[in-house]
Amino acid sequence: MTATPSPAPREALATFGGGCFWCTEAVFSRLAGVLRVTPGYAGGHDDDPTYEEVVMGETGHAEVVQVRYDPAKVAYADLLEVFFATHDPTTLNQQGVDVGTHYRSLVLWHDEAQKAEAERVVKALDASGAFPDPIVTEIAPYRAFYPAEAYHVDYYARNGREPYCQRVIRPKVEKLEKAFGDRLR
């Protein structure tokens, strides 16, 4: 008698830090198969940090997004591809004008498969010369996530006409639409 395979999980979790979480949230929230994107803080040592504490640089946390997704509709490898294509993973503790350890490029893996896939993607991108400089993205185990304050949620959707949104977030969204238009909702 053959065992019936278990169905694939309908929801999985990925955690990425690509600089400002407003940008990263705006990008991932447009992808087909993504169920929810939550901005927050992770990768540090203080419990339940506030935005003000994180930007002071003393908590060790980065601005991140937690991406809940349907792995039957979008693969973790696809999320990594979008992540690396929509921010600069070669600048240490900086994304454009946003500077500080809380803006570092970061992949927090939830299991060994995610860790291996993230390491494989970084190695392949470095070998391909996709970026002029080596990737400095931190790949670390996920430990805890602290949701950001409510005013950070859906920031671009609510404030898209603001100068920061137009100068910084909109170009990332446009890049996503051009490069990954077939993967959008």
Residue-wise pLDDT tens digits, 112-133:
999 999 999 999 999 999 999 9
Give a yes or no: residue 29 inside a domain. yes
Give a yes or no: residue 185 inside a domain. no
Instruction: Establish whether 20 is a catalytic residue.
Output: yes
66's enclosing H/E stretch is: strand 62-69
Split into its structural domains, the chain has a count of 1
DSSP 8-state assignment for residue 166: I
Give a yes or no: residue 1 inside a domain. no
The reported pLDDT for the residue numbered 96 is: 86
Rounded to whole angstroms, what are the CA distances from 47 to 143, 146, 149? 11, 8, 15
The reported pLDDT for the residue numbered 18 is: 96
Q: Residue 93 burial (CB < 10 Å; 0-12/13-18/19+)?
A: middle
Q: What is the pLDDT of residues 138-165, one digit of tens each?
A: 999 999 999 999 999 999 999 999 999 9
Give a yes or no: residue 140 inside a domain. yes
The reported pLDDT for the residue numbered 12 is: 97
Domain that holds residue 30: 12-175
Average per-residue pLDDT in the chain? 95
Q: Per this entry, what is the length of the chain? A: 185
Give a yes or no: residue 123 inside a domain. yes
Q: What is the pLDDT of residues 62-96, one digit of tens each?
A: 999 999 999 999 999 999 999 999 999 999 999 98
How many CA atoms within 13 Å lie on the side-chain side of 170?
A: 10
What percentage of the chain has pLDDT greater than the value 90? 92
Residue whose pair of structure tokens reads 């291996």 in the numeric block: 116
> Band of the pLDDT at 1, cuts 50, 70, 90?
low
CATH number, position 130? 3.30.1060.10
Alpha-helical segments (H) within 47-105? 51-55, 76-85
Give a yes or no: residue 183 inside a domain. no
Please say if the pLDDT value at position 100 is more than 80: yes
Q: Residue 60 burial (CB < 10 Å; 0-12/13-18/19+)?
A: middle
Encoding tokens for residue 134?
Answer: 């080596």
> Band of the pLDDT at 97, cuts 50, 70, 90?
confident
Give a yes or no: residue 182 inside a domain. no
Give a yes or no: residue 96 inside a domain. yes
Among the options 14, 20, 82, 169, which is catalytic?
20
- The pTM of the full predicted model, rounded to 2 decimals, is 0.93
